[in-house]
Every structure is written in C-alpha cells, then in structure tokens.
Amino acid sequence: MRYLHGLIAAAVMAGGLAAPLHAQDFIIVQSTTSTENSGLFGHLLPRFTEETGIEVRVVAVGTGQAIQNAVNGDGDVLFVHSKPEEEAFVTQGYGVERFDVMYNDYVIVGPANDPAGVAGSDDAVAALAAIAEVEAVFVSRGDDSGTHKAELRLWEEAGIDPTAASGGWYREAGAGMGATLNLATEMRGYALTDRGTWISFGNKGDQQVVVEGDPRLFNQYGVILVNPEVHPHVKAELGQRFIDWLLSPAGQQAIADFRIDGQQLFFPNAGGGA
C-alpha cells in the first residue's frame, strides 16, 4: 500500500502540473481532417504563432461535427469546406462573417486496372455514371462530411441514387478521409478524395488518380469567427487576428508555399470569388 500511495501521489502531482503548461494566449479552431491530415496546419501555424505569439489549437473532425461543435461554442474559429452549411451557420447567427480562404480540388482515385474505364477523364459526373454502370466498387465517406456532400451532389447530377446499391458495389464507410482511402485501397475501389489528403496519404497501394480537372470538383475553404454575441467567452480579438492573417498577403503566401513532393496542395483565393 505504501507503493500505491506513492503512485497516487505521483499521479496527482502530475495531473496538477497539467494546467500551468498552457497558460499562454491560445485560440481553438474547429477544422476538418483534410487540412490537419495533409499537414497544412503544421506548416501554417508555427508561422502565425511566431508572428503574433498566439497559439492555435486545432480540433480536426468531420465538417459536420466541426460545425456542430462551433454551434455549441466550443471553438473560436471555424475553418471548413462546405459552403452551404457555412453560410447557414452565419445566417443563423452562430458566425460573424464567412471569408473565402483557399481552395483545393477533389479527385477520383481508383485501382490501376480501372474496371470502369474512366482513367484520364475530366468529367466527374460521367465517370460516376460509368462506375455505376459496371457496378465497380465505390467507397463513400458516408459521414455527412464536406467531401461526402460534394460526392452526393455529383451523384445527383448524374441522376443516380447510389444508396440503392449500398452494401453492394456502393460502400458507405462512415469514416474520415484517411480511413475511407484505406478501405478503397483494400477493396480496390474508387473513391472521391480531396487532393491534399491523397498526395500526403501513405497507404496508396496501387491506387491512382483517375479523374481530375473537372470544375465541379472544386473545393472551397472558408473561415468564420464564432459569434461572440452568442458565445461571450469566444476570444474574438485573437480569433479575428488569425482570420486576418490567413487573408493577408503573408498568410496567403504561406498557403501557396505549402508543398508535398513538389506539388502545391492549396490555392489561396482570399478576396476572390470562387
């Protein structure tokens, strides 16, 4: 029991030390797995923190959960990519104002043997129709995320209801982008992914990009300050400084500078329309 006492004492002391380590100024950004997993934040945040002394804590979850967390006031800034939901977030009063920050694009990836014969296409809708036609495996996020919603819009445009084949050739992963890509690799199936996650993804197997360059695959990111009038504890000033920096020439240049394997992943377009 002497030892147990020691253990408890040590543990309690360790727990007590947890607080003062993070006493400096910080903001919480609710964002998506695509920005975190691609390494963009690892590239941007040290620069911002160096310039301003403000620490940024990123909670990377699906767009749906990120928005819900922000609605609950559990964050100062929302940085996601699903424009209709973002605009609704502002309209409902939870956000102050939405700004375009940057875009990247979606690509459709698939197995090298390409059973649907869509490789090289730049028509995403036609490609999906071809996949459905031959009933090749397609792995969907199925998690109500921004990417999932973009995928559903494409199916709608193709006039196909893939959920009718759910469990058959259409597989709803109900998971994040990475987990979905892991599934697609294992099942040798097609999947819609943002290019950033794909380039930095480590488990590609023999999967490759089969469809790209369709304007409909455009993926716009927006940033919103959580409304301090709804949630008074929101660090409005610090959050605004982060947003201002992202939209500033310095921030935009930092986004453009982020590369993996020599490829630029995100294209800054603050102030421009999408």
Partner 1 sequence: MHDFGAAFGEAFRLVLTADPALVEIVLLSLRVTLTAVASACLVGLPLGAFLAVVRFPGRMAVVVVLNALMGLPPVVVGLLVYLLLSSSGPLGVLGLLYTPTAMIIAQAVLVTPIVAALSRQAIEDLHREYDEQLRAMGMGPFAQALTLLWDGRYSLLTAALAGFGRAIAEVGAVIIVGGNINHVTRVMTTTIALETSKGNLGLAVGLGVVLILISVMVTGAVMALRGTAVRLAHV
Question: Site residues (CB under 8 A) for partner 1?
Answer: 1-4, 7-8, 10-12, 14-15, 17-19, 22, 28, 33, 36-37, 42, 57-61, 69, 71-74, 176-179, 181-182, 185, 200-204, 231, 233
Smallest distance, partner 1 to C-beta of residue 269, A = 26
Smallest distance, partner 1 to C-beta of residue 136, A = 21
| Residue (129 or 210) nearer to partner 1, CB | 210
In this structure, the strands spanning 170-172 and 95-111 are unpaired
| Residue (152 or 183) nearer to partner 1, CB | 183
| Residue (37 or 252) nearer to partner 1, CB | 37
| Residue (73 or 117) nearer to partner 1, CB | 73
Smallest distance, partner 1 to C-beta of residue 56, A = 9
Nearest Cα to Cα of residue 188 among 109, 270, 93 = 109
| Residue (202 or 272) nearer to partner 1, CB | 202
Amino acid at 131: I
* H or E element, residue 209: strand 207-211
| Residue (154 or 177) nearer to partner 1, CB | 177
Smallest distance, partner 1 to C-beta of residue 193, A = 11
Smallest distance, partner 1 to C-beta of residue 261, A = 14
* H or E element, residue 125: helix 124-134
The tokens describing 233, both together, are 């504890």
Q: Do the Cβ atoms of 61 and 69 come closer than 8 Å? A: yes
Whole-angstrom CA distances from 203 to 180, 190, 209 are 11, 15, 14
Smallest distance, partner 1 to C-beta of residue 42, A = 8
Burial 58-82 (b: 16+ CB within 10 A, else e): bbbbbbbbbbebbbebebbbbbbbb
